[in-house]
Amino acid sequence: MEAHLAVSGFLEADPSLLEKDSPEGDVLRQKIHQHYQQHGGENTSIGLEMDIRHDSCVYPPPSEADGKAPDWDLTRYIPSTFIGSRAPHVFLRDGKSIFDHYGPYWTLVEFSKGGDHQTESHTLLAAAKTIEMPVDHLLLSGEDDAQKVWGVHLALIRPDGHVAWRGDEGLEAGKAQEVVEVVSGRRKTAYALSYKASRPSNGVFAATTKADSQVHDYELEKMGIMQG
């Protein structure tokens, strides 16, 4: 906003100069060009726009195999399925986006390791069924390019497109049950308790904090449906 407002200051003398073929017009256009080259964050912040991550206790802690989360950069986007990240977009061999193959709720994406290979995911699917958690199984064969971008063979995707769990191997039944219960909010882990303790809350809904002026102008307290 500050970058845009500064341009209005350049135009105070005579805005019509921008459209004039004159030395003065050339100087003004060059001045604005240089300004946006130096203050182009709005146009170059692809990391801010694309690399949206969650840090939440409803994700199982990353395993040692996951390693460290990719560095976050305001101006760069590195596709990743690191837990909490928004699963990256890829086009599949049928020409469609992988997003078009997601189910309406949860989706377990599995990149086949060869043939009709579904044994890696059966424990997670069975565990989800026991708690009536709606999970669509997306089995992808021959999608080597997409798998390289995703970096793993299995990824459990939340309804909002973020990665809740990922791995290269299937889970034993007990661990699979724990994963689906944690990501669906049915089970708290030691990590969840420590997470909550490290982020104390004052219990105030942020949108109503210091909103006295809005209460009068917009009758905020009467907007029960909107607030809900």
Q: Assess if residue 102 is contained within a domain.
A: yes
pLDDT band of residue 44 (cuts 50, 70, 90) is confident
30 and 57 part of one domain: no
Mean pLDDT computed over 148-164: 93
Q: Assess if residue 216 is contained within a domain.
A: no
Determine the pLDDT at residue 192: 59
pLDDT, greater one: 15 or 59: 15
Q: Assess if residue 196 is contained within a domain.
A: no
Q: Assess if residue 200 is contained within a domain.
A: no
84 and 133 part of one domain: yes
101 and 141 part of one domain: yes
* 65-109 tens-digit pLDDT: 777 888 887 778 888 999 999 999 999 999 999 999 999 999 999
Structural domains counted in the chain = 2
Determine the pLDDT at residue 92: 93
111 and 181 part of one domain: yes
Determine the pLDDT at residue 226: 44
Closest CA to 177 of 133, 136, 138: 133
Determine the pLDDT at residue 201: 56
Q: Assess if residue 65 is contained within a domain.
A: yes
CATH number of residue 69's parent domain = 3.40.30.120
Distance CA 108, CA 145 (A): 18
28 and 62 part of one domain: no
Q: What is the DSSP letter of 111?
A: E
Distance CA 209, CA 37 (A): 37
* 167-222 tens-digit pLDDT: 888 888 999 999 999 999 887 766 655 655 665 555 544 444 444 444 445 454 45
Distance CA 155, CA 89 (A): 13
Q: Do residues 51 and 77 lie in contact, with contact meaning Cβ atoms separated by under 8 Å?
A: yes
Q: Order of strands across the sheet with 163-167? A: 135-140, 106-111, 154-157, 163-167
What's the domain range around 62?
A: 48-189
Q: Assess if residue 209 is contained within a domain.
A: no
Determine the pLDDT at residue 26: 93
Q: Assess if residue 135 is contained within a domain.
A: yes
* 122-152 tens-digit pLDDT: 999 999 999 999 999 999 998 999 999 999 9
Average pLDDT, the chain: 81
> pLDDT exceeding 90 applies to what percent of the chain?
36
